[in-house]
Every structure is written in structure tokens, then in C-alpha cells.
Amino acid sequence: MKKLHMMIVLFLALQGCKEAPKTTGEGNQETWVQLFNGTDLNGWAIKIKGHDLDDNFANTFRVEDSLIKVSYGGYETFDEQFGHLYYRTPFSYYKLRVEYRFTGEQAPEGPAWAFRNSGIMFHCQSPETIWRDQDFPISIEAQFLGGDGTHERSTLNLCSPGTHVVMADTLVTDHCINSTSPTFHGDQWVMAELHVYGDSLVRHFVNGELVMEYGGLVYGGGVVSNFDPDQKLDGQPVNAGYIALQSESHPVEFRKVELLDMSSSFSQQP
């Protein structure tokens, strides 16, 4: 683990303090892959609580106007039908960019805490291992929150369903920790970016600004129900997994989901 940490420190030093990424183009060393093709959900799996894998209940996840839209027009009531859209390939070391915005009104009987609430679940268990009535994947969450027009409400916070992390050499067992981001009111687009280095280091960026970092990702804690216990080995490192976009009862849109795979730059051995 110490060897890997030294490699990460050296890599970050070479990239510069902000790790400003390059866009894809001739002469650039970084090649970003578009996980969302702008046309359909090819390459993605859908799992909604209370429904079988790839049952897209009420057309919750759809592509319209070159956007991924999470919509609830077909819901009579939300009824805790939390949903997740999983990219079908797992990753361990990568940078991920997602542009999102909240729109419209919350689904009927959506929980109060889920007002303008969504996020990126990463290092998730595979969608095939999610039980039918499981609410959230065992994972790390970069939580998206939108403002209510009045109060401060940071975004790209950390939440930890079935996991723990380390901050400032201390194991954090609280479920959610706020970032230092500003509040984004209304339906404005926000650029969320994650830099993920296995279980050793994660950094959250909002519109290019660093708002949170942590490491020491391990399984542990609660805030997940109706799951297969074989998928949650408490105390073991969480160093790879799937990426998922959330459906938590408030309409949200995504217009970019792109990834830079850095696995070839790092040894996978601790």
C-alpha cells in the first residue's frame, strides 16, 4: 500500500496540483471515452428497487434530445423505487466527468431528503448481484444536490452506502459528509469530476475546483437494505467496481458522461 501511495503522489506531482485534464484531440496524451453515446443507453444496465434487472419501470431512464433523462411521468407514487443506471464495465483507476442539472418537480411522495438529489455511485457491486428489493448498491457515492433558491446546499458531497473512508487519517463512519462546493440553485448545468485511484485516493471537483478528497475505502457500515451479505465484506478494501447514475425521485438530466481510464499507469498490487 505504501508503494502504491508513493506512485500516486509522484503521478499527481507530475500532473500538477489541480490535475487539469486534457480534452481528446490530436497531440494530447489523454484519451477520454464517451460512456454515453448521445443516442441510446447501449452499454448500460438498469436496476430499480422492486423490479428485475433491466426492467426500466415507467421508462424512468430515457434518452431525449441527446440527454439522459430521469423522469417520473409514469409514477403514481414514488414508493421508494430508487433506481440506478449502471455502465456495464468496471473500473478502478480513472477520471470521470459528468454534466448534470435538476429540472421540474419531485415525484409524488418522494422523500424530503431527495429533493434535487441524485449522484454518481462508483466502485459499485455489479448490477447482476443487486437483489430485487435492494435499495442502493454497496458503493461510494458522489452526491449531487441542488439548491432550493434560498438555503446553502453543497454538491458533490460524499455518501457511503455500505462503506467507510478515511479523512485526515481518521476513519469516517458518518453516512454523508458535505463538500466545500458552492450552492447551485435552479436548473443550471454543473460539471462534476471524480479522480479515483483504487481504494487509496478519491478527489471531487465541481466546475474544475477541488471540493473534497479522501482515501482508505473499505466495506462497512449500513444504509443499505435487502442485500446479499456476500457482497459486503466489512473491513476489506473497495478498490474497483461499476459506475451508476441515480434516480432518487427528482428529475435530473445528464448531457455528458466521459471517462479517462488510468489503470495502465498504476500497479494493481497493494
Single-letter amino acid code for the residue at 112: A
Extents of the domains making up the chain: 42-264
- 23-32, 54-63, 149-158: least confident range: 23-32
Going by their DSSP bridges, the two strands 140-145 and 170-172 should be labelled as unpaired
pLDDT value for 29? 65
DSSP run (H or E) holding 158: strand 157-159
Which has the higher per-residue pLDDT, 23 or 241? 241
Burial 5-16 (b: 16+ CB within 10 A, else e): eeebeeebeeee
Using CA atoms of 161, 165, 167, 170 in order, give the dihedral in degrees to the nearest 10. 110
pLDDT per residue as tens digits for the range 30-65: 799 999 999 999 999 999 999 999 999 999 999 999
Region 181-199: what's the mean pLDDT? 98
- Please check whether residue 257 is in contact with residue 34, taking contact to mean a CB–CB distance below 8 angstroms: yes
4: pLDDT confidence band, cut at 50, 70 and 90?
very low
- 48 by Cβ neighbours in 10 Å (0-12 / 13-18 / 19+) ranks as buried
- Please check whether residue 261 is in contact with residue 92, taking contact to mean a CB–CB distance below 8 angstroms: no
Q: Write phi, then psi, for 71 (nearest 5 degrees).
A: -130, 155
Using CA atoms of 213, 217, 223, 229 in order, give the dihedral in degrees to the nearest 10. 160
Percent of the chain with pLDDT over 90: 86
Helix (H, G, I), strand (E, B) or coil at 25: coil
Helix (H, G, I), strand (E, B) or coil at 239: coil
Per DSSP, what are the bridge partners of residue 254?
68, 100
Q: Write phi, then psi, for 229 (nearest 5 degrees).
A: -60, -20
**Quick one: which of 266, 261, 216, 215 has its CA closest to 95?**
261
What does the alpha-carbon distance between residue 243 and residue 199 come to, in Å, rounded to a whole number? 15
**Quick one: which of 163, 160, 123, 134 has its CA closest to 228?**
134
What CATH homologous superfamily does 42-264 map to? Exo-inulinase; domain 1 (2.60.120.560)
pLDDT value for 258? 98
264: pLDDT confidence band, cut at 50, 70 and 90?
confident
pLDDT per residue as tens digits for the range 220-250: 999 999 999 999 999 999 999 999 999 999 9
CA 187 to chain centre: 20
Per-chain mean pLDDT for the chain: 90
265: pLDDT confidence band, cut at 50, 70 and 90?
confident
* pLDDT beyond 50 at 17: no
pLDDT value for 267? 52
Region 127-147: what's the mean pLDDT? 98
DSSP run (H or E) holding 202: strand 201-206
* pLDDT beyond 60 at 148: yes
What does the alpha-carbon distance between residue 104 and residue 19 come to, in Å, rounded to a whole number? 35
* pLDDT beyond 60 at 181: yes
* pLDDT beyond 70 at 113: yes
What does the alpha-carbon distance between residue 131 and residue 173 come to, in Å, rounded to a whole number? 24
Single-letter amino acid code for the residue at 82: F
- Please check whether residue 123 is in contact with residue 238, taking contact to mean a CB–CB distance below 8 angstroms: yes
Cβ contacts of residue 210 below 8 Å, gap of 6+? 18, 203, 204
pTM for the predicted model, two decimal places:
0.88
Region 114-121: what's the mean pLDDT? 98
* pLDDT beyond 80 at 8: no
pLDDT per residue as tens digits for the range 198-222: 999 999 999 999 999 999 999 999 9
